[in-house]
């Protein structure tokens, strides 16, 4: 089956982001296809390069980045949500004169059209909020 | 050609709460732009988003009516409100900022079962 995950939960703020990560792992381990990860609203914080996780806690953004790299996943961060929350690519940081960008390189900025596309193409779309 | 995805959007939040209403409506309008079937339902305190005469100016916030006006422009006319919720908020469909059909919670449950993708905003 083809899955898409929609994540609207920020890391460390509620359980949703961690649940999404573990679900993504389980989907891939079971041999299914993870068509897209779509990070929306507070979920965009999962793509921040500035998060410093406590040493005895899991570094969720780094874990996402490793998973995306390992499986060549399509990980989209909604640009509208990201701009409002200060998650900027180098290009956006330059455009809006905000200094350096802080979007982890394994994620890509995208739009809601890619969310709609995922809903059309995936067999199941799982949402992780909170 | 990919199959259409039937979207059901459920608004539960009252106005001016800085929740997902704005971004949720953006997603709804995107789905409509992509010619996907879209239904929007207001339940619970969410029906207050529909009230005529809301004024966000003292709060320096946007009025929901402005965003809701875009529904008509995008050809979204499947807008509903739960009848019990309207009654609980002392609202009649005539008190609302746009044409809305009152429906039962049983009908909404049926739509939830029938939709391909449900988004709570």
The pLDDT of residue B66: 86
DSSP B45: G
H helices then E strands: how many in chain B?
4, 5
Provide the shortest C-alpha distance from residue B88 to chain A (in Å).
26
Over the stretch A26-66, which tens digit does the pLDDT of each residue have? 999 999 999 999 999 999 999 999 999 999 999 999 999 99
Q: How far is the CA of B21 from the CAs of A43, B9, B14, in angstroms?
A: 16, 10, 9
CA distance A128 to B111: 21
Mean pLDDT of A10-22: 95
The answer to which of A13-17, B18-22, B34-38, B45-49 has the lowest mean pLDDT is: B18-22
Structure tokens at A112: 């809601």
Across the interface, whether the CB atoms of A120 and B30 are under 8 A apart is answered: no
Across the interface, whether the CB atoms of B30 and A129 are under 8 A apart is answered: no
Mean pLDDT of B79-103: 95
Q: Which helix (H) or strand (E) segment is A3 a member of?
A: strand A2-7
Tell me which residue in B5, B26, B33 faces A119 most closely, judged by beta carbons: B5
Mean pLDDT of A82-87: 96
The answer to which of A11-15, A104-108, B110-114 has the lowest mean pLDDT is: A11-15
Reply yes or no on whether A119 is catalytic. no
The pLDDT of residue B4: 87
pLDDT class of A93 with cuts at 50, 70, 90: very high
Closest CA to A9 of A126, A92, A88: A126
Q: What is the mean pLDDT of chain A?
A: 96
Mean pLDDT of B9-15: 95
Q: What is the ipTM of this complex?
A: 0.89
Helix axes B64-73, B21-33, angle to 10 degrees: 10
Residue B1 has pLDDT above 90, yes or no: no
Residue B19 has pLDDT above 80, yes or no: no
């Amino acid at each position: 089956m083809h899955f898409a995950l929609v994540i609207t939960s920020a890391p460390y703020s509620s359980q949703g982001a961690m649940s999404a990560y573990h679900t993504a792992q389980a989907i891939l381990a079971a041999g299914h296809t993870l068509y897209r990860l779509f990070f929306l609203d507070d979920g965009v914080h999962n793509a921040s390069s500035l998060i410093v996780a406590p040493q005895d806690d899991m570094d969720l953004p780094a874990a996402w980045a490793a998973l995306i790299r390992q499986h060549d996943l399509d990980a989209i961060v909604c640009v509208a949500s990201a701009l409002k929350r200060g998650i900027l690519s180098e290009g956006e940081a330059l455009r809006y004169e905000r200094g350096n960008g802080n979007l982890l390189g394994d994620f890509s900025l995208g739009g809601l059209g890619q969310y709609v596309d995922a809903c059309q193409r995936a067999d199941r779309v799982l949402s992780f909020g909170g | 050609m990919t199959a259409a995805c039937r979207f059901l959007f459920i608004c539960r939040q009252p106005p001016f709460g800085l929740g997902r209403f704005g971004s949720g409506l953006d997603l709804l309008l995107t789905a409509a732009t992509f010619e996907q079937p879209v239904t929007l339902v207001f339940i619970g305190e969410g029906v207050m988003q529909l009230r005529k005469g809301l004024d966000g100016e003292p709060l320096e916030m946007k009025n929901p009516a402005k965003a809701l006006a875009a529904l008509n422009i995008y050809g979204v006319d499947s807008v509903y409100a739960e009848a019990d919720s309207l009654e609980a908020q002392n609202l009649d469909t005539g008190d609302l900022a746009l044409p809305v059909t009152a429906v039962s919670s049983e009908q909404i449950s049926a739509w939830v079962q029938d939709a391909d993708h449900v988004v709570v905003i």
